[in-house]
Amino acid sequence: MISFNQVTKRYPGGHEALSSINLVIEKGELVFLTGHSGAGKSTLLKLIAAIERPTSGVVSVNGQNISRLSQRAVPYLRRNIGLVFQDHKLLFDRTVIENVVLPLDIAGFDRREALKRARAVIDKVGLLNREKSNPVSLSGGEQQRLCIARALVSRPALLLADEPTGNLDAGYAADIMAMFRDFHQVGTTLVIATHDDRAISALGGRTLHLDHGKITEGAA
C-alpha cells in the first residue's frame, strides 16, 4: 500500500530530515513509528499524505507515485487518508460537530447523513456532550480526541496519526488505542507516530524506529 524507495527529504535551509529511507507497508498493517524528537516521524507521515514532496526517491501510495501526482489529484488522495495532526489543526470559528463534519462536506455527503455519522464518531471519542461547544473551550486532550474524530469520520482506508495520544491520560489513551485496534481489525491500514510504549505493547504490530532520519526496524 505504501512504499518508500531511497527517499530523502531535505527542508529548505538544508536540514536533512530523512535520509535514503526504504520501507514497505502492506495493506491492513498496523505500524508504529518511534524515535526521538526531530527524528523525522512527522516528515515521514507528511510525505505519505503529499503534504511534503520528497527531495529525491519515490514515495508511492496505492500504486500512485506521490511526487508525480498533479496538484489536482492530491485532494482525492487525501480523501482516502485520515490525518491526525500533531498540532490538531482544528477550526475555532465553528462548533465541535462542524469540525467533524468538514471532511464529509468536502466529499459531498448529504448533510443529514453527515451529521449522523459525525455524531456517532464524536460519541466514540467521548465528546458528545460538547458537540455544540467551540473547540477553544476544550482541553488539550479533548482537542486531540476531536482531531481523531475528524480523521475517522470518513472511514478512511489509511489512517496516519501523529502523536494521537500525546496529551491524553492513560485511560483515554487506552480508549483511543482500542479504537485504533478496532479499525485495524476491519482492515484499515494505520501508521501511528508515538512515544507511548504502553500502547505499542498493548496493541502489538510492527515498530519502525527512526534515528536522525534513518530507519532501524524494531521487532514486532
Partner 1 sequence: MKHWLRHQKHALTTALRRLLSQPVVTLLTALAMGVAISLPSALYLMLGNLNRLAGDLPAQPEISLFLAADVTPVQKSLIAARLKQADIAQARHIPKEQALTALSASQDLADITAGLTENPLPDAWVVRPQASTPEALTHLASELGKLPGVAETQLDSQWIERLQAALAIGRTGVWLLGGLLAIALMAISSNAIRARVLTRRDEIHVSHLIGATDRYIRRPFMYLGALQGLLGGLAAGVVLALAGGMLHAPVAHLSSLYGASFQLLPPAGTEIAIVLAITTLTGWLGAWVAATRTLHQTSAPR
Ligand X SMILES: Nc1ncnc2c1ncn2[C@@H]1O[C@H](COP(=O)(O)OP(=O)(O)OP(=O)(O)O)[C@@H](O)[C@H]1O
Which residue stretch of 19-27, 50-58, 120-128, 167-175 sits at the interface with partner 1 (rule: CB under 8 A)?
Answer: 50-58
Residue 206 · residue 212 · CB < 8 Å? no
Residue 7 · residue 67 · CB < 8 Å? no
Considering only residues 23-42, where is the footprint of partner 1 by CB under 8 A? none
Residue 170: burial class (beta carbons within 10 Å; 0-12, 13-18, 19+):
exposed
What the block records as the C-alpha cell of 23 is 520501507
Q: Does 144 bind Mg ion (CB under 5 A)?
A: no
Residues in the chain: 220
Q: Which amino acid is at 3?
A: S
Which residue stretch of 11-19, 93-101, 110-118, 201-209 sits at the interface with ligand X (rule: CB under 6 A)?
Answer: 11-19
What is d(CA 170, CA 128) in angstroms, rounded to the nearest whole number?
A: 20
Q: Does 43 bind ligand X (CB under 6 A)?
A: yes
Q: Does 39 bind ligand X (CB under 6 A)?
A: yes
| Residue 36: CB minimum distance to ligand X, A | 7
Q: How far apart are the first and last CA of the chain?
A: 19
Of 90 and 125, which has the nearer Cβ to partner 1? 90
What the block records as the C-alpha cell of 52 is 511534503
| Residue 190: CB minimum distance to ligand X, A | 17
Which residue stretch of 31-39, 58-66, 71-79, 181-189 sits at the interface with partner 1 (rule: CB under 8 A)?
Answer: 71-79
Considering only residues 51-110, where is the footprint of ligand X by CB under 6 A? 86
- Rounded (10°) CA dihedral 67, 73, 79, 83: 30
Residues that bind ligand X (CB under 6 A): 11, 13, 15, 17, 35, 37-43, 86
Residues that bind Mg ion (CB under 5 A): 42, 86
